[in-house]
Structure 1
Amino acid sequence: MTLETLSPGDANIDGLDQAVIDALAADDYRFKVWGGDWCGDCQQQLPAFAAALDAASVSDDRIDEFPVTKGPDGKEGPQVEAYEIDRIPTVVVETPNGEEVARFVEEAEGSIAEELARQLADAPVSR
């Protein structure tokens, strides 16, 4: 099962700073994305994030999609408990070694891509 909302569609990223695109492209990061096609926040935010990943030439094999459903006790889906996911969209960025270096949860002042780029600017670069 995949997230339909994690498709760029006709999302416009014309105003996205090149530094944001460069930050997403750097260091072979892995992007783990939790969302639900039923979720309004996901419908609003994930297409632009997918477009930013495309602009950064992040290959599909570096993006893991985790569809989330609403259950009687909260969010349910793959890795929800392991990554303590309670709100969506959530995006976790990991190094190739599996170290979490950035996390976006549901909302921020900027877009998902901008918030992650801000956090990644402070992240150590793995070599």
Structure 2
Amino acid sequence: METLQPTPEFDPTAHADTVQALGADGLQFHVWTADWCPDCRGQVPAFAAVLEAAGVDDDAVTVYPVERGDDGKVGPGVAEYDVDLIPTVVVCRDGEELTRFEESGPLSIAATLARDIGENGDGEA
């Protein structure tokens, strides 16, 4: 997917705490995105750059492509994870959800998740 191509201008040294938090052992990332979605195109490439800088293995990231349906978003895992808005990123450890980001917020996807992981005592933010 195009939205998962890391933005080339990302500077990991400027976001060292975020990179460190998202690179913590045992994290699994579930990402719902779509190339047709303006929010996804604007936010997911920077998130992908953080994952790349953190050295997150591809097998720790599950990507779920989302399509537009008559009654909302459709695609793999949408109902199971209660995804209504995209982009949505759910971070899990040992099968338990630690935090999630949905559509937009005052911070980037990566900064929001890193902050929440730090607050949960599961990493540094």
Same fold (TM over 0.5): yes
The number of equivalent residue pairs is 122
What is aligned with 2:90? 92
- Matched with 2:21 is 23
Structure 1 residue 85, shift from structure 2 partner: 0.5
1:6-21 equivalent positions in 2, closer than 5 A? 6-10=4-8, 12-14=9-11, 16-21=14-19
Equivalent-residue separation in structure 1 for 2:10 and 2:98 (angstroms): 24
Q: Could you tell me how far apart the structure 1 residues matched to 2:43 and 2:53 are?
A: 16
- Misfit runs of 4+, over 6 Å: none
TM-score (norm 1): 0.90
Give distance in 2, aligned partners of 1:80 and 1:91.
12
Q: Which runs of 5+ in 1 are unaligned?
A: none
Paired AA for residue 81 in structure 2: Y
Q: Identity of aligned pairs, percent?
A: 48
- What's the Cα RMSD here? 1.5
- Displacement of 1:64: 0.2
* 5+ long unaligned stretches in structure 2: none
**Residues 18-75 of structure 1, C-alpha deviation per residue, up to 9 Å, x if partnerless?**
1110000012200000011100000000100000000000010000000000000000
* Cα deviation, residue 13, structure 1: 2.3
Normalised by the length of structure 2, the TM-score is 0.92
